[in-house]
Amino acid sequence: MPNDDNIVLAHGESGLATKRLIENVFAPKFSNPILERMEDSAIVEIQSKKLAFTTDGFIVEPIFFTGGDIGKLAASGTINDLAAMGAKPKYFSASFIIEEGLKISDLDKIANSFAETIHRYNSELIAADTKVVPRGTGGGIYIAVSGIGEVIIDVGLDKIQPYDDIVISGDIARHSAAILAARENIDTNPILLSDCAPLWEIVKLAIDENIEIHTMRDPTRGGLATVLVEISEQTNLGMTIDEAKIPIEPQVKSLCDIYGFDPLYLANEGKMIFIVRNGDGEKLVELLRKNPLSQNAELIGSVSQQDGVVLKTETGGKRKLIMLEGEQLPRIC
């Protein structure tokens, strides 16, 4: 008889233990007519002529952190990848790779967070799988997610023009800083919360108000700087960024100073970079600040015809941003 409190290998062997796990943990949270058929593939009808399709894997340590958990992270990250392409989230599939020994009560919380996040936009999980790996080999739980969204507006790197405005939807590096604080048992005052959040609503706000959006990106691994450098390299356009305009919470800055991290390269899980028509940036900032998810949005720079991404420093100098060789802080998302 499998342990009722912890995940055991039998929960991954497609027998009665697996059936009970699905019925008790997953089915109550994700119930919908498509998933309830429990067939090998989900069949859906979508009217849109253009769809966005994304896939990602999520590993984070610890799996619970201030401001979220791996369930919220996996759902938000997938939604934000769709939103960055101007797509409204519709359907998801997920594979939960669970380590033997994980408390079932913790799995229940994670599944609930995932469900609450996708249901925020009336989207559904329509295909799912669970696997159990032996103790010591799985980091608690990993989640692989694919998402489909209905494209509402066309955006892309090919639409970026010189002098376009560059807007960040809020303060940077908070997710990485929250993970660091959790790992090192650092108490901050006020408590440092991860920015982990789904962002379709702020993208929709910009669309509804006819902001001319040319491209969007969510600056997760590698942070703000890496994404800007990637865009610059892919478009052969430059950027000028004003360091003084980049919002950073004081606790985040303090942690970065202590550990020698550059916040420009730390991950965010609830921020969006907007590149919009010249002149639309200030209007977008005003709109975004009306939403709690983007209340400290800032216009941080513009696209240029120079080479690369140049940061105008707070001391009056200039620094060329580059792509780092690796992550400053691994296993954060």
Instruction: Please tell me the predicted confidence (pLDDT) of residue 236.
Output: 96
Token pair of 258 as six digits: 């202590």
Q: Find residue 147's DSSP bridge partners.
A: 54, 92
Where do the domains of the chain lie? 9-151, 157-321
Q: How far apart (Å, rounded) are the C-alpha atoms in residues 290 and 292?
A: 7
Average pLDDT over residues 123-144: 95
* Yes or no: domain 9-151 corresponds to CATH 3.30.2130.10: no
| CA angle 132–135–136, rounded 5-degree value | 120
Q: How far apart (Å, rounded) are the C-alpha atoms in residues 63 and 73?
A: 9
Average pLDDT over residues 198-211: 98
Task: Classify domain 157-321 by CATH architecture.
Answer: Alpha-Beta Complex (3.90)
Confidence band for 255, pLDDT divided at 50, 70 and 90: very high
pLDDT tens-place string over residues 47-68 = 778 999 999 999 999 999 999 9
Does position 2 have pLDDT exceeding 60, yes or no?
Answer: no
Whether omega before 62 lies within 30 degrees of 0, making that bond cis, reads yes
Instruction: Please tell me the predicted confidence (pLDDT) of residue 330.
Output: 73
pLDDT tens-place string over residues 161-197 = 999 999 999 999 999 999 999 999 998 888 899 999 9
Q: How far apart (Å, rounded) are the C-alpha atoms in residues 210 and 15?
A: 53
pLDDT tens-place string over residues 211-239 = 999 999 999 989 999 999 999 999 999 99
The answer to whether residues 300 and 169 touch, using CB atoms and an 8 Å cutoff, is no
Say what the alpha-carbon torsion angle 202, 206, 209, 212 is, to the nearest 10 degrees: 180
Average pLDDT, the chain: 94
- Rg value, the chain, Cα: 21
Which of the pair, 298 or 190, is modelled with greater confidence? 298
pLDDT tens-place string over residues 91-116 = 999 999 999 999 999 999 999 999 99
Task: Give the closest residue to 77 by CA, choosing from 64, 102, 94, 61.
Answer: 94
Instruction: Please tell me the predicted confidence (pLDDT) of residue 1.
Output: 42
Does position 18 have pLDDT exceeding 80, yes or no?
Answer: yes
Positions of E strands within 152-193 = 165-168
Instruction: Please tell me the predicted confidence (pLDDT) of residue 9.
Output: 87
Instruction: Please tell me the predicted confidence (pLDDT) of residue 46.
Output: 78
Q: Strands 68-69 and 64-65: what pairing?
A: antiparallel
Token pair of 51 as six digits: 């769809």
- 159-163, 283-287, 315-319 — which is least confidently predicted? 315-319
> Percent of the chain having pLDDT more than 70?
98
Does position 75 have pLDDT exceeding 60, yes or no?
Answer: yes
Instruction: Please tell me the predicted confidence (pLDDT) of residue 3.
Output: 58
Task: Give the closest residue to 294 by CA, choosing from 323, 321, 273.
Answer: 273
- 181-185, 293-297, 299-303 — which is least confidently predicted? 181-185
